[in-house]
Structure 1
Amino acid sequence: MMKADVIVGIQWGDEGKGKIVDKLALEYDMVCRSQGGHNAGHTIWVDGVKYALHLIPSGVLNPKAINVVGNGVVLSPESIIKEMEQFENLEGRLFISDKAHLNLSYHALIDQAKERLKGDKAIGTTGKGIGPSYSDKINRIGHRVGELLDPEALCTKILDYFAQNKPIFDVMDIHAPAREELLAELNGFKANLAPYITDTTQMLWKALDEDNQKVLLEGAQGTMLDIDHGTYPYVTSSSTVSAGACTGLGINPKDIGKVTGIVKAYCTRVGNGPFPSEDLGEDGARLGKQGHEFGTTTGRARRCGWFDAVATRYASRLNGCDELALMKLDVLDGFDEVKVCVAYEYNGKEIDYVPVDLENVTPIYKTFKGWTNSVGVRKFEDLPASAQEYVKVIEEVAKTKVGIISTSPERDDTIIL
């Protein structure tokens, strides 16, 4: 019986999971997505060609890999159909869980309306309908992907939902679609997606138990956005940690093998919420410019700051990380000095853990000599000495070894330790 390996984001998402999954996927038979929706985005560069993925697992760029969208995902049919157009002949290579929940156009309208009504207390969501879709799931009033196979019945259920919630929708200025238009849309979704809808849990069990296939699990966002363990309420609506991969795909903890945590060599965050090591000065602006820090999904500029080893240690322990993949080391090229947040000051005391009240901590930094010329380096010994030292410091403070280092967006500009 085989174990499934896990790739998990350790910061606030956008760590570069796409590149690592894409590179590692060449060694796996199956790549599975466990949670999130099309609010997530992976940008992958292969031979100078850019691919933007939001729902399809990153293993799609390996022609031999099977790609699974698990039950823990909230699926926008419109988004995944558009995404599928980047690739040819996905039948037999892409499978979507019949238990995944649908994220339909009205979910995005609800999302955007709620953010507007919150005013300056808005969370800063992508407005893609993720929260409302997960809310419907938890409220037991949602609709699952398998229901697309009977568009007539699904159409009736959705219109009943609008009728039952009319007073609320009126406040939000959201109106029920005409039956003919809705039915035509659902029929279109069925025509495009029916060949891909299946019981992916049974499929995954067979791959692990009988076929001895190598399976890689990937999530979306990052640990600090986890619904339970992140910077609540400025979080996403799903479990982004490695344990979420089990519930999001229907496997048990004993099925999990190696866990690789993905971190940037600095920190970024999109949207509102606490970010202790954020740099609001010239260094933060420079990190954003050199790192091309704009969201794959929204195009929003990311907030930038220095590496937070306290949050990384916390996230690594939560996920049971065997190793870290350190991304975008090359972005730090040219800084005279680089910083690592090694502790927080909280209520007048120095602490080495992540408190619930992360809004009111002050970062305590150690400063290190900068470097140049790390771009494209593929051997650790070829890195500048100060860059090597920086990696070792991160290992020590985060209490997790670094097993992979990325030195450019290209697939092969990667150091494997």
Structure 2
Amino acid sequence: MVVAMNGGNNIEIMSRNGDVPVKRQRFNTRVPLKVVLGSQWGDEGKGKIVDMLATDVEICCRCQGGNNAGHTVVVGTKAYDFHLLPSGIVNSECVGVIGNGVVIHLPNLFDEIRKNEDKGLTDLKKRLIISTRAHLVFDLHQQVDGMQEQNRGKNLIGTTKKGIGPAYSSKATRNGLRIADLLGNYSNFSEQFRKLVDFYVRQFPELESVVNVEEELERYKVLREEVRPMVRDTIPYLHKAITDCKTILIEGAQSNVLDIDFGLYPYVTSSNCSVGGICTGLGIPPHVLGDVFGVVKAYLTRVGSGGFPTELTDEKGQILVDRGHEYGVTTGRRRRVGWLDMVMLRYSNMINGFTAVAITKLDILDCFKELKIGVKYILDGQELDSFPALDEDLKRIEVVYETLPGWEEETSAARKFSELPQNAQNYIRRVEKLMEVPVKWIGVGQSRDSIIEVSSC
């Protein structure tokens, strides 16, 4: 392979088969493609950061997950809730792309579109593009999800019961159905749907009396015409957008410690929500990725079962829940809360290589006299060099904390770093040093303008 600079910012790559030139491709290296990813257990406030960055982008993409995600964007007095739609679509000039790596429950998608249009967003259907290769989530998958969770007894994973896991399972076992299948020959789609139902009925016989196959097929006959205008092959669409240097923002759902490979298995989601999921979930090459921004909540939250070394179950924990309104956007479940965990954040950075991070919800910590940050994990007397793979190990970890003075002042009015109380500034700078990643933004409230841009030290 021969690599040659061709002037400007273009790289020419010429592959050789023996001595015979095979193909020459030209890649523009000035592609302004940005990525926003969660760094903890989700619910970090990614939607707010995406909304801020999306004010001047042309395309915003979702690459994985389904309507188990929940992003809230507050603009003025209106709060928009997104589950499948890329939250950058709040920008009326932005096109939303739902990539091949996303699993889609069409009834929920159209319900989400209607609810947000009722709040004032316009032309959502005209500004949404859905990949032909995205897999479908059926009500059947949601019913199976609930049954599987119920059968786990006390070892609940904490699934949202939105059918996401079973839909990805269908994808992996190659009996799933995609948007392309729905829009193709409907007789073939119907036959494959019946086979999918039979597959699950053999596992859960009670489904036979629950699933009305004919009604479902009639419903999807209507849904396919409703979705048809939004569907296209997103691979060449994004390729052309990249070639044309369109501004593109990619919005991750869930977060690194929920990743199917890198998360706290089995208490994970069913997709890759770390940086690798972007390439596989959208069909774009890794060399076009530019800035990768991690989002960090100023404390830590999670839902579901499993270890949580810095968890607070006392009065301080309840204060965080109440002040932070720590209830899931999708499920309404109360989140578990705890102190910031730097071992987790350093692990996330190892995998994703964050360019910079945004720290959200700093204002929730305004009332504390002192704050703690977990800086080391000790297991059986030995310090761990990373986040463990086993939940049983995570549950036995002893955390070494650093204690910092709080600021006991309101920060919600601050719009410059210098306007923050000195102890709040010290907290941010300490996180920055411990994580070894610069802090670029700080969130101090729900509204769109409650963001402080930070200058480097």
Query: Fold match, TM over 0.5?
Result: yes
**How far 1:339 moved relative to its partner?**
0.8
| Residue 112 (str. 1) matches residue 146 (str. 2) | yes
Q: Which of 379, 383, 400 matches 1:346?
A: 379
1:13-412 superposed matches below 5 A: 13-85=42-114, 86-87=116-117, 88-150=122-184, 151-170=186-205, 172-175=206-209, 177-209=211-243, 211-356=244-389, 357-371=393-407, 372-412=409-449
The structure whose RCO (Cα within 8 Å, separation 6+) is larger is 1
| Residues 185-242 of structure 1: per-residue CA shift (max 9 Å, x gap) | 1022112211111111111110001x21011111100100011111011100000101
| Residues 345-376 of structure 1: per-residue CA shift (max 9 Å, x gap) | 11112334212232321211111111111113
Partners of 2:422 and 2:123 lie apart in 1 by 47
**How far 1:27 moved relative to its partner?**
1.9
- Partner of 1:237, secondary structure, is coil
8 Å Cα contact 2:201-2:207 kept in structure 1: no
**How far 1:179 moved relative to its partner?**
4.2
| Residues 104-140 of structure 1: per-residue CA shift (max 9 Å, x gap) | 1000000000111111012110111010000010111
| Residues 269-324 of structure 1: per-residue CA shift (max 9 Å, x gap) | 01111211111111111101100000000000000001001100110121010101
Q: What one-letter code is carried by the residue in structure 1 that aligns with 2:375?
A: V
Q: What one-letter code is carried by the residue in structure 1 that aligns with 2:252?
A: G
8 Å Cα contact 1:325-1:404 kept in structure 2: yes
- Partner of 1:325, secondary structure, is strand
The two structures have a TM-score, normalised by structure 2, of: 0.89
8 Å Cα contact 2:142-2:164 kept in structure 1: yes
Q: What one-letter code is carried by the residue in structure 2 that aligns with 1:154?
A: F
**How far 1:3 moved relative to its partner?**
4.2
| Residues 375-416 of structure 1: per-residue CA shift (max 9 Å, x gap) | 131100000000000000001111111001000011111011
Distance 1:69 1:308, change over 3 A: same
Partners of 1:337 and 1:125 lie apart in 2 by 34
Q: What one-letter code is carried by the residue in structure 1 that aligns with 2:201?
A: K
8 Å Cα contact 1:155-1:186 kept in structure 2: no
Q: What one-letter code is carried by the residue in structure 1 that aligns with 2:79?
A: K
Distance 1:289 1:174, change over 3 A: farther
Range with bigger deviation, 385-394 or 82-91: 82-91
Structure 1: give runs of 5+ residues left out of the alignment: none
- Partner of 1:167, secondary structure, is helix
Range with bigger deviation, 293-302 or 187-196: 187-196
The two structures have a TM-score, normalised by structure 1, of: 0.97
**How far 1:167 moved relative to its partner?**
2.5
**How far 1:173 moved relative to its partner?**
4.1
Distance 1:405 1:164, change over 3 A: closer
- Partner of 2:291, secondary structure, is strand
Identical counterparts, % of pairs: 43
Q: What one-letter code is carried by the residue in structure 2 that aligns with 1:12?
A: W
Partners of 1:163 and 1:138 lie apart in 2 by 17
**How far 1:343 moved relative to its partner?**
0.6
- Partner of 2:399, secondary structure, is strand
Aligned residues: 415
Q: What one-letter code is carried by the residue in structure 2 that aligns with 1:153?
A: N
